[in-house]
Chain A
């Protein structure tokens, strides 16, 4: 009975090691891909050996059953050594001219290699491997596991998350760099070295940006207003009234949202062309308000549902008319919700690309997305100006999105998931 602690104790070093090696394996696959791209087959084979060593490390560290402990530990130590060696050789191969990625690739091998050597040779692990561990020691070890393991797991989690953050942030940092660097150079070797405002003054001093921004603002505000005018009454009716065809209609609104835009693109274009609405703001406003309509209706219905019905009934008793109730009670109460829905339609219109590209082909009727895209073409691209304008366009949108993310995501998922 008293060896419960000994039986259940396994040094946390093993858990750390297997987690670390697992992560390194994943990262090393990316390193191998990069090696392949560079045609650097020497590095590739070194890193390949490292990958195999890491795999061995995972397999040995993942579970030490009673019998083979010593053998497994020795294999683990050997694998760590090989991993470490691969890391060093990998760095040496690149010589003096290594880049940031080389350093990163090196660390991916060096860290688990060194940790493996260190962790597998600590006294506690040695005694545990030799099954000469005392009960007190095992009990202390259990406490230590309990206290330290969450910290190590959190650390590994942060390493993973930081890698994802890096992948997310690199394009963002890069575009900022391009926007404030002179000329249209792309490689961004020395980031943020010689800042200049030339691109911003180009954009803000020229006509294009203002014309396109005006178009986008007109279209987006028009869409918001028209969309809300259509969606508010419908959302209200779906929320408050029970009538024939209600279920079918609501389902239709859901279904339409799943319609791919492409099937209506061509006929849309022809209808707009026939009506002479190409190259106008109205054409886009009409199209966008209907695109956003189903989700807006669903979002608003959800919000109206949360307004207690008793309020309305009280107002009715006080002699308010049906419309009066809607106008005086419901609307003011759900103003924040209406604002969020409006913001949603605004963003839809502000960010839409395909319809704007097909409908409005003359450059004084471009919206910002199409205008921005026109800076980049196969032949010559004004990357600096593009980057500057991107920042001008994106920053307000991103801020709005982040501030209202909770509501926007709630509304979006409410509409899309309740199928």
Chain B
């Protein structure tokens, strides 16, 4: 948003500057990329400059999963600026997702500097830069190129486009110490056993004791594989755990949370998540209700209708989502049937509409079935009473059916809210959060959960991801609590 305003504000300036080219962007003479020697999901990129970089020069690293010839089809992975580096910090390897080094000749590689806002900066006179870029898909070729620009942000020639495939496998760092985990699991199990034993012992009857015995396995499983990870996750959120230093994390206080709330895309991704969830849940309930009403009573071919309408629920969602992706693809069925040529999944608003449509398609059968079940339990005689009272069918629906369905709809709507909030498959498989307008920030269709996945497993920042997860959980918890309170409160009034 701010970027947009900023861009509009500087647009006249840019146009004016374009009209009188003064400086030329430093040309790139050679680009090389390699995915072999690097670490998991990483690709190395090295480029040499035709002339030493001058103050104000900059280089966008352009990135795409398919080959490209102009910048419109690629996103900016990261940017390196040239400036005087006085007073800037020089971070260690592994601290940034785009570790870069620069050389001013003779292979004397040095880490890049970081400005206050985190931009990578190299000193003037640099002749070559190499970067270790993370977040690459494994096993698929990615395409990279350098787009130099000058001190007026005017782009130069796009360099040669090179491809590379990250082949490094995800190895367990040898340093990882499994003992603490075992210790934790062991102690939890032990304390549970003790707890159950005490409970069982305090229980006077033999019945109670055998009950404990029966429940124990399930309870232990739940404790070890749900509660323990949740607790561990909360602990992680206060550490700097990341993929390159597993098991060596140290506490960093609230840093992760600060980063979450100050990160550039936080409000945007939260906003889209809410839009996504609310639209979906309303559509699910609305369509489900309409169809349940339509299938109520005697309808010819009811069984056939029900079976067909159940399909979106019955077919595994990862399959249907991919099918829809094929339909919405540029050369897919949608454009084919309509005779249009829209790159639906490549444009922010259409892509958002598409993922929402697909999720509505996926989710309405569940609501339809639950509402159908609830309709069956409504007393039939009151409709006759209403008929005699002269209440029109629409009013019957509005004043009898709806309020009486409310107790059934309220909990499933909440369940639907939680499910939709966390609907990973649809977004990940349809757009993967894209189109990505800004690298390292959430894409335009990212919801919180897909973004957390990115942070954790593409950028490898487990601590940060855990903090995001906790924030998500708190949002859900807050919402559920208010929702329950609100709906109960209104129920007392009606």
Chain A residues in contact with chain B, CB under 8 A?
34, 37-39, 99-101, 154, 157-158, 160-161, 164-165, 167-172, 174-175, 178, 186-189, 229-231, 233-234, 236-238, 240-246, 249, 252-253, 256, 258-271, 273-276, 278, 286-287, 289-290, 293-294, 297, 322, 350-351, 353-354, 357-358, 361-363, 369, 372-373, 376-379, 381, 383, 386-387, 390, 393-394, 397-398, 401-402, 405, 409, 413, 416-417, 419
Q: Can you list 13 A-B contacts with CB-CB less than 8 angstroms, sorted by A residue number?
A: A101-B338, A165-B305, A238-B215, A240-B211, A249-B219, A267-B229, A267-B236, A270-B462, A274-B178, A353-B317, A354-B428, A354-B453, A379-B141
Q: How far is the CA of A189 from the CA of B336 in the complex (A)?
A: 7
A residues near B62, Cβ cutoff 8 Å: none
Asked if B241 contacts A270 (CB within 8 A), the reply is yes
B207 engages A169 (CB within 8 Å): no
Q: Are A229 and B236 in contact (CB under 8 A)?
A: no
Query: CA separation between A287 and B370, bound complex, in Å?
Result: 28
CB distance from A149 to the nearest CB of B (A): 12
A287 adjacent to B424 (CB under 8 Å): no
Asked if A244 contacts B203 (CB within 8 A), the reply is: yes
User: Is there an interface contact between A390 and B222, defined as CB atoms closer than 8 Å?
Assistant: no
Q: Specify which of B233, B295, B332, B472 is in contact with A186 (CB 8 Å cutoff).
A: B332
Contact string, B239-256, partner A, CB cutoff 8 A, digits 1/0?
001000011000000000
Return chain B residues, CB-CB under 8 Å to A175. Answer: 319, 323, 326
Binds A, one of B8-16, B52-60, B414-422, B438-446: B414-422
**B217 on the interface (CB 8 Å rule)?**
yes
A262 and B219 contacting across the interface, CB-CB below 8 Å: no
Beyond A158-B300, A187-B333, is A236–B214 a contact (Cβ under 8 Å)?
Answer: yes
- CB-CB under 8 A from B295, the residues of chain A are 161
Q: How far is A253 from B226 in the complex, measured between Cα atoms in Å?
A: 11
Query: For chain A, what secondary structure do more than half of its interface residues adopt (helix, strand, loop), or is it mixed?
Result: helix
**Cβ contact within 8 Å between B412 and A416:** yes
B310 interfacial by beta-carbon distance below 8 Å: yes
Q: Within 8 Å CB of A37, what residues of B?
A: 338, 340, 342
Most chain B CB within a 10 A radius of its CB, from A229, A266, A413: A266
Contact of B318 among A258, A264, A353, A413 (CB under 8 A): A353
Q: How many residues of B are counted as interface, with CB atoms below 8 angstroms from the partner's CB atoms?
A: 113
Q: Within 8 Å of chain A (Cβ to Cβ): is B387?
A: no
Q: How far is the CA of A54 from the CA of B469 in the complex (A)?
A: 49
B310 touches A405 (CB 8 A): yes
Chain A minimum-CB-distance residue to B306: A405
Within the assembled complex, what's the spacing in Å between the Cα atoms of A317 and B70? 84
Residue of B nearest to A240 (CB): B211
Given A186-B329, A290-B225, A276:B172 Cβ within 8 A: yes
List chain B residues, Cβ under 8 A from A267. Answer: 229-230, 232-233, 236, 466
Contact of B316 among A270, A351, A377 (CB under 8 A): A351
Chain A residues, Cβ within 8 Å of B316: 350-351, 369, 393-394, 397
Chain B residues, CB < 8 A from A405: 310, 314
The CA-CA distance from A405 to B303 in the complex, in Å, is: 12
- What chain B residues lie within 8 Å of A353 (beta carbons)? 317-318, 424-425
For A362, give its contact among B169, B230, B294, B313 (CB under 8 Å).
B169
B187 at the A interface (CB under 8 A): no
Contact B176 A274 (CB under 8 A): yes
Is B400 in contact with chain A by the CB < 8 A criterion? no
Write out the residue numbers on chain B whose beta carbons fall within 8 Å of the beta carbon of A233.
213-215, 217-218
Given that A100-B337, A241-B207, A271-B181 are known contacts, is A262 also in contact with B369, CB under 8 Å in the complex? no
Name the residue on B nearest A289 (C-beta): B221
In the complex, the 4 A-B pairs of residues with the closest C-beta atoms, listed nearest first: A187-B336, A241-B211, A237-B214, A234-B218
